[in-house]
Amino acid sequence: MTLTETPAPPAVVARALTKVYGEGDARVQALRGVDVSFATGAFTAIMGPSGSGKSTLMHCLAGLDTATSGSVRVGDVELTGLSDRRLTLLRRERIGFVFQSFNLLPSLTAEQNIRLPLDIAGRQADETLFDRVVETVGLRDRLAHRPSELSGGQQQRVAVARALISKPQVIFADEPTGNLDSRSGAEILSFLRACVRELGQTIVMVTHDPVAASYAGRVVFLRDGELVTEVSGPTPETVSDTLVRLEA
Amino acid sequence: MLTTALAGLRAHRLRLLLTFVAIVLGVGFVAGTFVLNDTVQAGFAQRVTADAGKVDVVVLPGEGGGELPEELLERLRALPGVSEAQGLVRGSAPVLGKDGKTAGDAPTTAVSVVRGRLDRTAVVAGAGPGTDDGAAVLDENTAEAQGFRIGDTITVLDHEGDAHRFRLVGLVDTGVDQMLAYTGAVGFTVDTARRMTGAGGYAEIDVAGAAPGLERAVAAAAGPAYRVRTGAQLADELAAAAGANTRLVMLGLFMFGAVAMLVAALVIHNTFTILAAQRTREMALLRCIGATRGQVFGSLLLESAAVGLLASVAGVVTGYGLAALTLTVLASLDAPLPTDAPIALTPLAASGGLAVGLAVTVGAALLPARSATRVPPVAALRDHVGEPAFRAGALRWSFAALLLVAGLGATAVGVFALRPGQEVSLVVVMAGGVLTFLALLVLGPVLVRPLGAFAGWVPRRLSGVPGRLAVDNAARNPKRAATTSVALTVGVTLMTLISVVTVSTRASLTSKLDEQFPIDFLLAAQTGEAVVPRSVAARLRGRPELASVTQVREVRAKVGGERLDVGTFSGPVQPYVVAGSMAGFRAGRAALDERTAERLGVRVGDAVPLETEQAGTVSLTVAALLDGSRSTLPPVTVSARPFDAYFGAVPDSRVMVAVRDGVAPERARAAVDAAAEPYPQVRVSSSTEVRGQFEETLDMLVMVISGLLGLAVLISLFGIANALSLSVHERTRESALLRSLGLTRAQLRHMLTVEALVLSLIGALIGVVLGLGFGWAAMRALLDGAVVEVPVAQIAVFVVLSGAAGALAAVLPARRAARSSIVAALAHT
């Protein structure tokens, strides 16, 4: 192993990020100056108790929501001040999503769902990549099925395939196993980890499940809108312990 | 449950708003028609009452018509208790326009203007003729149309066609008298009026007097041959007669109102279906905590009743406004209607509008409310309510097949089995149309997918993913898509049908005229009386500009016991012979119009007696039967020379002229005008002018009808907007997912616009097909040998406008969808 390799610049960087909802008495400060960066080619989990602001953080990082102040950079693009149109194009080009539920359009087949981001962007699919992704997620014989004909785990695998197909700079996964039984959940998580290791894909996952978080290489913890600690090389036990400490 | 229903209303305020507007428009139209009708009728009554109030007793000719003799007037004047009695004269006296020809489409009616308290003339400018036998008054419209002003000299023809000159001293208003409004009126002193019209007596005698029992005294003096009425009775009769025409128009308006309400019903049905579907979990929760099916059903019905009631009240108010607006427009157009009566909202009009609105709303909500009761309580616990799957069951298929067979069968019977031109054929065809429409209503959900694919062919290819998704989405809930589209179908069907019928009528009539023989000019009097001197035709025959001259002359005579028009012709006419033959047509032979022969009960070869003026009764052998609808010949035609022997040298009734090819129209016109110039009653009309007027009238009719049907289309657009905004609502998370995957706001708006476009095109396509089919059937039922023409351009405009309107309906829902925050929508469960 040599040390001459310069580390790649981080895929996503947030600086002094704040987010405020509402006004007056209803004012809620969801993020209170978060500084965090996510390394390229890494699998990072964001954890925290309910209401800690982990989903808000993810939404701001992914350009789904705009922060009240602070800055977010995805690759070399500064998100602050981008118009809705530019944000949309950025999501289209550089960001992939896997949500907890309702990941797929019910009227499209699995294959159409996988190709959807490229179709929206009017781009040609990289057919080798498509074949590889389909092979990896093991959906070859399910491509012509509609979501209603797929199991929850299969649906989520289609969602992951869709996120991979446009070769995004980063994939944001929001509780991707929240609706799955533990076997399907484990399958998806292993698969996500494989994507990071084998394809060099950057993944940021929001979860409240210590087991899910343990699949990541690094876990960052939020509490009351602030980044409080992080754990590298987590196991379910270390994550749980940290959580319990935070909630105490 | 009342609280629940009302809370439901509040929660879905916006959703119900569009339904509300649809009901308001429909009820507004119906209530507006009520108000308009009431106001106009009240206006008629008011006018005639004011008029008749001046008169105590009126004597009119008996049922058979005729005149009231001078002697009767003298007798009435001598009756005790009669303070005054006046005879009113009425008869034709054509006013000449500035071009020296009789003015207007019908001879002007001359009336006498009496003096004193019995004078009922409404002088609006200048004065009445007073005692000046050389003075005349004209009605405002005629004066304006012909450009006469007070102080001008006007020329009027008397009953013998001789011209007399009068000084115009005043203008009058014809009031509610429909006949005077149509013919125009010229008023003289009683003596002049009698001289001009050649009337031997009076059309009416008005009596004033205060004695009790005056009516009985007058009736006793007049005898049973005449009708005697009090002023009040006369007012009622006049009002009823004047209102009869308007009532027909109102009936027509009510039919349009019914169409509008039908469309509104479809829109309401759709909205409540969607509301019920969206609230499946809510309904299930209510059932979980102990609500019975009846209570769920009742709460939805209550909700619809509340919406219906509110919207109907707003509709009645709208109708009142619409009627006021219409009256203002009518008044500014000088329509021959009383527009000055106070606009009245009678209890009947108000309750009628409310009842219609309420019944339609609750009726349309019945089915959705019933299906809401079928929601099992456990549905409240289910996480996700899936897409409503649709499968056409056997019941639907057989029901649709039954309706379709009945509808098409009835249509085929109307077109092929029944005789064209009869009312019953048209009624049968229309009934077939309604049945077929119902069949399509039942089949709609099945048709939506293929039709959507067809209508969406272009957008699917042109606009990438948004287009493709839009086309899929349009037909995603086939039942809803069908109801939404079919609401538009109603309007488009009727519009297409009307335009096919008018264009075909025009084509059929023109082609018949052209086939018969080409007429370029027609010379005839306003009344069609035989007044064109034969010398006119003789002069025309000498003109090199003209190719042919045909004379037709007619008199009234008794044929087989019936008074009919008997006539002859000379010139190049090729009659349409249905039976027999015109070969060797000579004295003692007659050609009969088919219908006339049917009436007389004679066939080819039979003999019919004809009472002539100069040759006694002669017996004619029927040589041929002619197709009356294609003939310009009289019902009973004999050959030219015997006609003169029977009736003398009668002038021509009409002269038809064809221009030689290559002659400039202006030169031909000058030649024809020159021949007719000395005779004021002989009016020259060119077929292009007549056709132009005919087409203008038809175009006007199409415009008015399309405008009225436009309301139905407008309501259906609210339906599209409604269905779309509900779909947008249902697919909030789906839209958010697409947006997070990189769909821009513009693309999302575009997607929803295409969806609306596809929905409206489905409706328009069904409408065009139905309209074409039944336009064709109606034409075939209306007219034998009708030429059916398809107004391609007009129909294309309907389709394009429907699509555009549909896209317009998508503007607001699309904007709302595009604006909604992705994060909030994703969190939405």
Three-state DSSP string of B798-829: HHHHHHHHHHHHCHHHHHHHHHCCHHHHHHCC
Q: Which residues contact B437 (CB under 8 A, 6 or more apart)?
A: B407, B489, B490, B493, B770
Our CA-based measurement puts residue B402 at a distance from the nearest CA of chain A, in whole angstroms, of: 33
Q: Please indicate whether, in this complex, the C-beta atoms of B738 and A120 are within 8 angstroms of each other.
A: yes
Write down the pLDDT at residue B534.
Answer: 85
- What mean pLDDT value characterizes chain B? 81
- Whether the CB-CB separation of B447 and B397 falls below 8 Å is answered with no
Residues of B in contact with A148 (CB under 8 A): 386-387
Write down the pLDDT at residue A3.
Answer: 47
Q: Does A92 touch chain B (CB under 8 A)?
A: yes
Query: Measured between alpha carbons, how far is B753 from B728 in angstroms, rounded to an integer?
Result: 11
Domain boundaries, chain A: 10-247
Please check the confidence at residue B33 and state whether its pLDDT lies above 70.
yes
Residue position matching structure tokens 């709208």? B318
Mean pLDDT value of segment B583-597: 82
The percent of residues in chain B predicted with pLDDT above 90, rounded, is 3
What is the pLDDT confidence band of residue B604, given thresholds at 50, 70 and 90? confident
Query: Measured between alpha carbons, how far is B673 from B670 in angstroms, rounded to an integer?
Result: 5
Please check the confidence at residue B514 and state whether its pLDDT lies above 70.
no
pLDDT digits (tens, 9 = 90+) for B810-824: 888 888 888 877 777
- Whether the CB-CB separation of B108 and B142 falls below 8 Å is answered with yes
**Cα angle, residue B70 at apex, residues B65 and B71 outer, rounded to 5°:** 110
- Whether the CB-CB separation of B534 and B649 falls below 8 Å is answered with yes
Residue position matching structure tokens 């005449």? B226
Mean pLDDT value of segment B719-744: 81
What is the pLDDT confidence band of residue A2, given thresholds at 50, 70 and 90? very low
Write down the pLDDT at residue A206.
Answer: 92
Query: Measured between alpha carbons, how far is B763 from B776 in angstroms, rounded to an integer?
Result: 20
Write down the pLDDT at residue B505.
Answer: 81
DSSP secondary-structure letter at B378? Answer: G
Question: Which amino acid, B172?
Answer: V
Write down the pLDDT at residue A246.
Answer: 82
Q: Does A122 touch chain B (CB under 8 A)?
A: yes
Three-state DSSP state, B238: helix
Mean pLDDT value of segment B757-761: 88
- How would DSSP label each residue in B172-234? EE-TT-HHHHHH-EEEE-HHHHHHHHT-SSBSEEEEEE--TTHHHHHHHHH-TTEEEEEHHHH
pLDDT-wise least confident of A1-10, A91-100, B218-227, B586-595: A1-10
Burial of B119 (0-12, 13-18, 19+ CB in 10 A): middle
What is the pLDDT confidence band of residue B334, given thresholds at 50, 70 and 90? low
Q: Does B826 touch chain A (CB under 8 A)?
A: yes
Write down the pLDDT at residue B522.
Answer: 84
What is the pLDDT confidence band of residue B229, given thresholds at 50, 70 and 90? confident
Q: Which CATH number fits domain A10-247: 3.40.50.300, 3.50.50.60, 3.30.1180.20, 2.140.10.10?
A: 3.40.50.300
Mean pLDDT value of segment B514-522: 69
Torsion, Cα B288 B292 B297 B301, to 10 degrees, reads -100
Please check the confidence at residue B10 and state whether its pLDDT lies above 80.
no
What is the pLDDT confidence band of residue B121, given thresholds at 50, 70 and 90? confident
- How would DSSP label each residue in chain A? --S-PPPPPPSEEEEEEEEEESSGGG-EEEEEEEEEEE-TT-EEEEE-STTSSHHHHHHHHTTSS--SEEEEEETTEE-TT--HHHHHHHHHHHEEEE-SS--S-TTS-HHHHHHHHHHHHT----HHHHHHHHHHHT-GGGTT--GGGS-HHHHHHHHHHHHHHT--SEEEEESTTTTS-HHHHHHHHHHHHHHHHHH---EEEE-S-HHHHTTSSEEEEEETTEEEEEEES--HHHHHHHHHHHH-
Query: Measured between alpha carbons, how far is B602 from B784 in angstroms, rounded to an integer?
Result: 22
Complex ipTM value: 0.76
Please check the confidence at residue A170 and state whether its pLDDT lies above 90.
yes
Three-state DSSP state, B263: helix
From the list B465, B472, B476, the residue facing A120 with the nearest CB is B465
Write down the pLDDT at residue B4.
Answer: 66
Query: Measured between alpha carbons, how far is B357 from B349 in angstroms, rounded to an integer?
Result: 12
Q: Please indicate whether, in this complex, the C-beta atoms of A120 and B737 are within 8 angstroms of each other.
A: no
Q: Does B473 touch chain A (CB under 8 A)?
A: yes
Instruction: Output phi, psi for A122, to 5 deg.
Output: 70, 30
Our CA-based measurement puts residue B807 at a distance from the nearest CA of chain A, in whole angstroms, of: 22
What is the pLDDT confidence band of residue B512, given thresholds at 50, 70 and 90? low
What is the pLDDT confidence band of residue A45, given thresholds at 50, 70 and 90? very high
From the list A59, A85, A106, the residue facing B744 with the nearest CB is A85
- Whether the CB-CB separation of A197 and A227 falls below 8 Å is answered with no
Sign of CA dihedral B116, B120, B124, B129: negative
Query: Measured between alpha carbons, how far is B404 from B399 in angstroms, rounded to an integer?
Result: 9
Query: Measured between alpha carbons, how far is B353 from B474 in angstroms, rounded to an integer?
Result: 35
Mean pLDDT value of segment B476-485: 83
Our CA-based measurement puts residue A247 at a distance from the nearest CA of chain B, in whole angstroms, of: 24
- Whether the CB-CB separation of B530 and B547 falls below 8 Å is answered with no
Mean pLDDT value of segment B31-39: 83
Residue spans of alpha helices (H) in B601-744: 640-647, 665-676, 687-730, 732-740
- Whether the CB-CB separation of B176 and B238 falls below 8 Å is answered with yes
Please check the confidence at residue B381 and state whether its pLDDT lies above 70.
no
- Whether the CB-CB separation of B226 and B61 falls below 8 Å is answered with yes
Q: Please indicate whether, in this complex, the C-beta atoms of B823 and A64 are within 8 angstroms of each other.
A: yes
Mean pLDDT value of segment B406-430: 83
Greater model confidence, B342 or A204: A204
Query: Measured between alpha carbons, how far is A234 from A240 in angstroms, rounded to an integer?
Result: 10
Please check the confidence at residue B711 and state whether its pLDDT lies above 80.
no
Q: Please indicate whether, in this complex, the C-beta atoms of A105 and B738 are within 8 angstroms of each other.
A: yes
Please check the confidence at residue B158 and state whether its pLDDT lies above 90.
no
C-alpha dist (Å) from residue B738 to B466, B731, B747:
10, 11, 10
Q: Does B462 touch chain A (CB under 8 A)?
A: no
Residue position matching structure tokens 């899929």? B472
Query: Measured between alpha carbons, how far is A111 from B580 in angstroms, rounded to an integer?
Result: 77
Please check the confidence at residue B390 and state whether its pLDDT lies above 70.
no
DSSP secondary-structure letter at B787? Answer: P
Write down the pLDDT at residue A121.
Answer: 79
- Whether the CB-CB separation of B465 and A116 falls below 8 Å is answered with yes
- What mean pLDDT value characterizes chain A? 86
Question: Which amino acid, A232?
Answer: S
From the list B742, B745, B822, the residue facing A120 with the nearest CB is B742
Write down the pLDDT at residue A4.
Answer: 47
Nearest CA in chain B to A107: B472
Greater model confidence, A248 or B187: B187
Query: Measured between alpha carbons, how far is B458 from B456 in angstroms, rounded to an integer?
Result: 6
Burial of B335 (0-12, 13-18, 19+ CB in 10 A): middle
Residue position matching structure tokens 């876990």? A219
Mutate to test the interface with A, among B740, B745, B819, B821 (most CBs of A within 10 A): B740
Q: Which residues contact A92 (CB under 8 A, 6 or more apart)?
A: A117, A120, A121, A166, B741, B742
Write down the pLDDT at residue B1.
Answer: 58
- Whether the CB-CB separation of B169 and B120 falls below 8 Å is answered with no
Q: Does B824 touch chain A (CB under 8 A)?
A: no
Tokens of B653: 């009734």
Q: Which residues contact B191 (CB under 8 A, 6 or more apart)?
A: B133
What is the pLDDT confidence band of residue B379, given thresholds at 50, 70 and 90? low
- Tell me the whole-structure pTM to 2 decimals: 0.70
Greater model confidence, B471 or B316: B316
Cβ under 8 Å to A: B residues 700-719: none
Q: Which residues contact B471 (CB under 8 A, 6 or more apart)?
A: B452, B453, B456, B459, B460, B754, B755, B758
Number of A–B residue contacts, CB under 8 Å: 68
Please check the confidence at residue B253 and state whether its pLDDT lies above 80.
no
Mean pLDDT value of segment B444-460: 82
Tokens of B49: 């009452």
Q: Does A244 touch chain B (CB under 8 A)?
A: no
